[in-house]
Structure 1
Amino acid sequence: MNQVKLINGVELPQIGLGTWQITDRSQMVEVVSNAYDVGYRLFDTAAAYSNEIALSKAITEKGIAREAYILSDKVWNTSRGYRAVQEACHKSLKKFKTDYFDLYLIHWPASMKLYPDWEEINEDTWRGMEQLYKDGLAKAIGVCNFKIHHLESLKKTAEIMPMVDQVELHPGLNQNELLEYCKVNDIVVEASSPLGNGQILNNENLQMIAENKKKTVAQVCLRWGLQKGSILIPKTTNVGRMQENFDIFNFSLDKKEMDAIDKISYCGGIGIDSDEVEEFG
């Protein structure tokens, strides 16, 4: 399993399992057990997914030692601010019966559409994240859905910049400008939707590359994201697809293929813009 080293030395697997929409406890037990057997060691959740307890119980039932897996969680929009974000983290830690998260993220920036003081809100929340890091409650901290201007805003007051930015990234939404910005600023990009909404699987260019490589379109999409240097968080409950998604380390895409995928027009997007979205949750 390839590892990505964050600026503070913490290493994360380059592929993890997303758990969004998995709320049934018995299903979570099966999913976690299968994923661990396949080789997944990074489990990604969020307070908003309403499955923290289900994931905790599944990990316990599988008998996985705490040091044998990477746990990533996210604070929700209702807990913005210095104190609120710390309180939310403590609540989530209790659900997992653990002393720390390997990675703790802000789920969404405050939207400039709704908040004239969005910069101050994000800065205050980030100060709380920095305190969690200093207190050892999070081994690494970061953000989700932050654009370049959100990150530039944090720079004005941050003592510690985000180590990870989890964003929608897939063929049809290549995020090249953000990827370059993050590379220069030592921020690792995590692809929360590396297969988008599934429409990209019908793309003829991707299908042609997949046929030449004797791989599936999904594997080509994930390999592209891998070679971009991003961490991938695909979500599936099907053990066959878990294995398929994990089996991307034995081939590579050449520059011509990478460039062709980069040029795919916008498609397959989830369609949520962090600057435009109305507050939810």
Structure 2
Amino acid sequence: MSSASPRPSPTRYSMPGAPSRRRPQPRNGSGLSRGAARPVAHRHRAPGPGTARLPAAPFPAARFPAPRFPAPLAQLPAARGAVKAQGQPGVVVPDRSRVMASAGSPGPGGVPAVPVASGHSIPVLGLGTSHHGGYSHGAVVHALQKCGIRHIDTAKRYGCESLLQRAIRESGVKREDLWITTKLWHSDYGYENTKKACLESCERLGVEYLDLYLIHWPDAQVPGKSNREVRAETWRAMEELYEKGVCKSIGVSNFLISHLEQLKEDCVITPHVNQVEYHPFQRPQELVDYCRSRDIVFEGYCPLAKGEALTHPAVIQLAKKYSRTPAQICIRWSIQNGIVTIPKSTKAERIEENCKVFDFTIAEDDVEILNGMHDGRHVSWDPTSIV
């Protein structure tokens, strides 16, 4: 794969009718601007035979009707407070009590929310969706109407964005009271493709803006280009979507420290959120600490380890001690560790159970028992081999 190329000029990549994005470029440690060509300090190796490869999206774009965008991107107003000068915060990792204190103010639906660097607040508990049977219309409506859920997490790859539009409309919950996250699939990476895919997701969801848009996976799989090049090109489009207010917040998913460090060197805006697998068997504390040091909200998926954590003796014992279910213990533990947590379920009664986690607290000693269960296993994608 090729080495990193110079950042294209803002004029080349400006959207029709949009003002130039030419801005003073922050300097990096080498004395070069972030957008300038830099010596190749390391090689971007082609992934070897053991590299994780994701299957192609099971929901090809051809299935969806031609998008009818709410408005041309260039005509949308700039996001309030977008693209402020971002200094380099000191490495100060807040302790658990400070993180939980920031989640003390309930948002719409009564679920506590945590502040995001974009100036918005994300509900600390959400409802996840997925492909392969990971969506239920009735369960989503129930979650919105009866459980106080206001945070919905989805992705283009899951194929349920259009279904969510119908469920949200049926629930009667106001758009402004919702936090809607969706994700960009790797087949849409690249500057122009990213903007087009975002607007298509808005169309399928029936919204004029997204609360959070994430790059789904660090492996770009673009022939002739390094992952780093494609991620940087894609992120510049994400920055522009944020500037225009189409995305109120932008972030990444499954990114490790190495991926975030490259993005910091190549681009301007720090991701607002990093969504990563997080459960008692997979507690990447070094990554959590890094994200907090850069004011990146850490969001965890698979909090129940796809059910594997529910049968662990320590979890079962704590569930009995607190008169709770194993699922409630895992979700509460995740939230107490300062993680925005998005369990998924297609059953209304399970969603109700998962939401009843704000009327008890796990003692510090018991939190440490669950922390000690970390063994590094993944129940979902493992990005460690992606350069």
Q: TM-score range by the shorter chain?
A: over 0.9
Q: What displacement does 1:245 show?
A: 0.6
CA distance in 1, matches of 2:220, 2:258: 12
Alignment-derived partner of residue 6 in structure 1:
116
CA 1:188/1:24 → structure 2, altered by over 3 Å: closer, same or farther?
closer
Q: What displacement does 1:266 show?
A: 2.5
Q: Note the 1:101-112 alignment, pairs <5 A.
A: 101-110=210-219
Alignment-derived partner of residue 184 in structure 1:
293
- 1:35-59 superposed Cα distances (whole Å, 9 cap, x missing partner): 0121100111100011111111111
CA distance in 1, matches of 2:315, 2:384: 30
Q: Which of 24, 27, 32 is the equivalent residue of 2:140?
A: 32
SS at match of 1:270: coil
SS at match of 1:72: strand
Q: Where does structure 1 lack aligned partners over 5 or more consecutive residues?
A: none
Q: Select the structure of larger CA radius of gyration.
A: 2
Alignment-derived partner of residue 166 in structure 1:
275
Q: Which of 156, 162, 169 is the equivalent residue of 1:47?
A: 156
Would the aligned equivalents of 2:131 and 2:157 in 1 still touch at CA under 8 Å?
no
Q: How many residues align?
A: 275
CA RMSD, 1 decimal: 2.0
SS at match of 1:191: strand
Would the aligned equivalents of 1:86 and 1:132 in 2 still touch at CA under 8 Å?
yes
Alignment-derived partner of residue 368 in structure 2:
259
Q: What is the TM-score with the length of structure 2 in the denominator?
A: 0.68
- 1:19-73 superposed Cα distances (whole Å, 9 cap, x missing partner): 1137698x41x12210012110011110001111111111112222211211111
Would the aligned equivalents of 1:16 and 1:42 in 2 still touch at CA under 8 Å?
yes
One-letter amino acid of the counterpart of residue 9, structure 1: G
Q: What displacement does 1:271 show?
A: 4.2
Question: Of Structure 1 and Structure 2, which has the larger fraction of its residues in helix?
Answer: 1
Q: Where does structure 2 lack aligned partners over 5 or more consecutive residues?
A: 1-110
- After the TM superposition, list the runs of 4 or more consecutive aligned residues in structure 1 that deviate by more than 4 angstroms: 22-25
- 1:137-192 superposed Cα distances (whole Å, 9 cap, x missing partner): 00000000001110011000221111100110000111111111111110111111
Identity of aligned residues (%): 36
Would the aligned equivalents of 1:16 and 1:41 in 2 still touch at CA under 8 Å?
yes
One-letter amino acid of the counterpart of residue 134, structure 1: E
- 1:100-137 superposed Cα distances (whole Å, 9 cap, x missing partner): 0011111101269x987111111111111101000100
Would the aligned equivalents of 1:35 and 1:242 in 2 still touch at CA under 8 Å?
yes
Q: Which of 244, 249, 261 is the equivalent residue of 1:135?
A: 244
SS at match of 1:4: strand
Q: Note the 1:1-281 alignment, pairs <5 A.
A: 1-21=111-131, 27-28=136-137, 30-36=138-144, 37-110=146-219, 117-266=226-375, 269-276=378-385
CA 1:260/1:88 → structure 2, altered by over 3 Å: closer, same or farther?
same
Would the aligned equivalents of 1:200 and 1:268 in 2 still touch at CA under 8 Å?
no
Would the aligned equivalents of 2:283 and 2:374 in 1 still touch at CA under 8 Å?
no
CA 1:116/1:81 → structure 2, altered by over 3 Å: closer, same or farther?
closer
